[in-house]
Amino acid sequence: MRFKDVFSIIGPSMIGPSSSHTAGAARIGLAARRLLGVMPDAARVSFYGSFAATYQGHGTDTAIAGGLLGFRTDDPRLPDAIELAEEAGMELIFREGKGLFPHPNTVRLELQGAGGQRLSLLGTSIGGGNVEIVEVNGFSVKFGCACPALLVRHSDQPGVIAALTAALQQAGLNIAGLSLSRMERQGEALAVVELDGEAQQGLLRQIRGLPNVLGTDYVNLNGEEEESPFELSDAEGAK
C-alpha cells in the first residue's frame, strides 16, 4: 500500500499551491536535511519530469529550500524560503536535469555541510504531499517518510542484521519495513528500517557500536525535531 493511513489522504496542512510540487518537495528537502544532520552550506537541486517542467510556477524550488531550512509544510515562512536560505548562507543551485525516472515528480539533492558532510538523495513526490526516497548516496532504497526511518550503514557481513533487529527488539520497537542494499558482495551496505515508534539517542549510539556497523542516520518528519527552526543551525554545526 503506497498510502498508509487517513492522514496521507486528508492532509497535510500546508502552504499552497501544490501538494505534490510544494508540500511533497518541502518534505523531501526536510528528509534530506535530517539525513545530512545539519543545515547544508551548498545544495545542488536537479528537477526531473513534471518537476522540471513546472517547478517555478509551483514554487517547488522555494519548497525544497524551506525543507532544507527545517520548515514544516504549513510554515508561514515557506513562500520566502529561498531568500531566507540565502540570508542564512546557503548556496542554492536549481537546474532542470535530463534523464528518465519511473516517477514524473523526481528530484535529486546533492548537499554539502560545513563540516564536510555530503549527501546525494533521489526523492519522488507521489501525491497529496506523500513522498518516497528512492536513492541515498548511491544505494537504492525505498521508504516513505510516514514513519521514522533508521538508516544503518554497515559492512556486508553475516550477523549485522540479526544484531540490529535484536537491538530494536530490546528497545521494544516494531519494524514496519526493512530493506537492504549493497554496493558489492562484502562491500558497503545500507539497511533501511522503518519503525512504528521513535528511536532514542541511546539506541542509535548502541547500534553504532555494533560490529561491522559504520554509521547511522535517522529521519523522523513527524517528530518534534521538525519544529526546529533554521536558527538552530549554528548549534547543530557546533556539535
Partner 1 sequence: MNFRTLKELSERSRESGLTIGRLMIQQQAKESGRDEAAEFASMKEYYGIMKEAVHNGLTRDTTSRSGLTGLDAQRVAAYNKSSQPSLGGDAGRAMAYALAVSEVNASMGRIVATPTAGSCGIIPGVFVSSQERFGWDDNRMTEGLFAAGAIGYVIANNSFVSGAEGGCQAEVGSAIGMAAGALTELRGGTPEQAVHAVGLALKNTLGLICDPVGGLVEIPCIVRNGFGAVTALAAADMALAGVRSVIPSDEVVQVMLEVGAAMPEKHRETAGGGLAQTPTGKKLMEGLRKKKR
Contacts to partner 1 by CB under 8 A: 1-23, 49-50, 53-54, 56-59, 74, 76, 78-79, 103-105, 125-129, 196-197
Q: Which is nearer to partner 1, 56 or 170 (CB)?
A: 56
Residue with cell 526536510: 30
Sorted by sequence, the CB contacts under 8 Å of residue 236 that are 6+ apart come out as 37, 38, 39
What are the cell numbers at 72?
A: 514544516
DSSP type of residue 210 = S
Nearest to partner 1 of 40, 49 (CB atom)? 49
Q: What is the DSSP letter of 191?
A: E
Q: Which is nearer to partner 1, 77 or 182 (CB)?
A: 77
Question: Which 8-state DSSP code applies to residue 211?
Answer: T
Which residue lies nearer to partner 1 by CB, 54 or 137?
54
In whole angstroms, the minimum distance from the beta carbon of 234 to partner 1 comes to: 29
Smallest distance from partner 1 to CB 111, Å: 24
Min dist CB 73 to partner 1, Å, is 9
Length of the chain: 239
Q: How far is the CB of 187 from partner 1 (least distance, A)?
A: 35
**Is 190:153 a contact under the CB 8 Å cutoff?**
yes
Q: Which of 156, 143, 126 is nearest to 193 (CA)?
A: 143
Contact 89, 97 (CB under 8 A): no
Closest distance of CB 96 from partner 1, Å: 12
Minimum CB distance to partner 1 smaller for 17 or for 115: 17
Q: How many CB atoms lie within 10 A of CB 200?
A: 11
Is residue 72 within 8 A of residue 226, CB to CB? The reply is yes
Distance in Å, CB of 156 to partner 1, minimum: 33
Decide: 185 and 156 in contact? Cβ < 8 Å.
yes
Closest to partner 1 by CB, 105 or 216: 105
Q: Which residue has the cell 519522488?
A: 124
